[in-house]
Chains A and B, each alone.
Chain A
Amino acid sequence: MIAEPPIPELGSVTASALAEVLATQFKLSVIASAPDEETNSKPMEQCHVGSVKLTGGLFSGDVQLQLPEAFVAKLTTVMLGANAASVAEEDAADITGELCNMLAGRIAATLAAAGYFSTLSIPTVARGRRLKFENDPGAKKYRSNWTCEGHLLKVASQFSFRSR
Chain B
Amino acid sequence: MSPKILSVDDSKAVRKLLARMFRPFDCELCEAANGEEGLAVAAREMPDLIILDYNMPVMDGISMLRRLRENADLRRTPVIMLTAESSAENIATVARLGVRDYVTKPFNEELLLAKAGRAVPLVAHLTHNGRPNPRSGRSGDTLGAVSSEETDSATELAARTPAPSASALQSASVLVVDDSSTMRMSLIKALNELGFDNIKEAKNGRQALELVRKEIFDLMLLDMEMPEMNGMEVLIALKNDPQLGGLPVIVISGADQIENAVRCIEAGAEDYLPKPFNPTLLRARATSSIEKKRLRDLDRVRLTQLQSEKDKTEAANRLVTEQNQILGNLSTKLSKYLSPQIFQSIFKGEQNVEISSKRKKLTICFTDIAGFTETTDNLESEELTNVLNHYLTEMSVIALQHGATIDKFIGDAMLLFFGDPQSKGVAEDAKACVVMAIAMQRRMRELEQEWRSRGLLRPFRIRMGITTGFCTVGNFGSRDRMDYTIIGNEVNLAARLQSATEPGSILLSHETNALVQGLVMTEEQPPITVKGFPKPISGYKIVGTFDDLIKEGRVVLEERDGLHVLVDLTKQDSSDVIEILEGILTRLKLPRGKGKRAPRAGQRTPQG
Contact = CB atoms under 8 A, between A and B. Distances in A.
Interface of A: 20-21, 24-25, 76, 79-81, 90-91, 94-95, 97-98, 101-102, 104-106, 108-110, 112-113, 117, 119-122
B445 interface: no
Contact of B106 (A24, A117, A121): A24
B20 interface: yes
Contact of B280 (A101, A113, A121): A113
Given A20-B106, A79-B13, A79-B16, 10 more contacts: A24-B108, A76-B13, A90-B12, A94-B12, A108-B84, A108-B85, A109-B86, A109-B278, A109-B284, A113-B283
Contacts of A25: 105-107
A113 B56 contact: no
Interface in B5-58: 10-14, 16-17, 20, 55-57
Nearest to B190: A113
B442 to A, nearest CB: 102
Given A25-B106, A80-B20, A98 B89 contact: no
B488 interface: no
A90 B10 CA distance: 12
A79 to B, nearest CB: 5
Interface residues of B, number: 29
Interface SS of A by simple majority: helix
Contacts, number: 80
Nearest to A17: B106
A90 B108 CA distance: 25
B278 A79 contact: no
Interface in B454-491: none
B20 A81 contact: yes
Given A24-B108, A119-B85, A110 B278 contact: yes
A101 B84 contact: yes
A95 B55 contact: no
Interface string B248-291: 00000000000000000000000000000011110110000000
A113 B12 contact: no
Contacts of B108: 24
B181 interface: no
A91 B278 contact: no
What are the 7 closest A-B residue pairs judged by CB atoms, nearest first? Answer: A105-B84, A113-B280, A25-B106, A24-B106, A98-B11, A109-B280, A95-B13
B84 A80 contact: no
A119 B83 CA distance: 12
B11 A95 contact: yes
A24 B85 contact: no
A94 B84 contact: no
A108 B279 CA distance: 13
28 contacts: A20-B106, A24-B106, A25-B105, A25-B106, A25-B107, A79-B17, A94-B11, A94-B12, A98-B13, A98-B14, A101-B11, A101-B84, A101-B105, A102-B84, A105-B85, A105-B105, A106-B106, A108-B87, A109-B284, A112-B86, A112-B87, A112-B280, A113-B278, A117-B89, A119-B85, A120-B84, A122-B10, A122-B55
Contacts of B104: 105, 109
B114 to A, nearest CB: 15
Contacts of A113: 278-280, 283
Contact of B11 (A21, A97, A117): A97
Contacts of B13: 76, 79-80, 91, 94-95, 98
A91 B12 contact: yes
Most buried by B among A109, A119, A122: A109
B187 to A, nearest CB: 15
Given A109-B281, A112-B280, A113-B283, A102 B17 contact: no
A110 B277 CA distance: 12
Given A79-B17, A80-B16, A101-B105, A109 B11 contact: no
Interface in B163-184: none
A99 B88 CA distance: 22
Contacts of B14: 98
B33 to A, nearest CB: 10
A4 B198 CA distance: 27
A104 B11 CA distance: 15
Nearest to B17: A79
Contacts of B12: 90-91, 94
Interface in B46-94: 55-57, 83-89
Interface in B117-156: none
A3 B17 CA distance: 44
Given A25-B107, A97-B11, A122-B10, A109 B87 contact: yes
B316 to A, nearest CB: 53
Contacts of B283: 113
B233 to A, nearest CB: 28
Contacts of B281: 109
Nearest to B60: A122
Contacts of A102: 84, 105-106
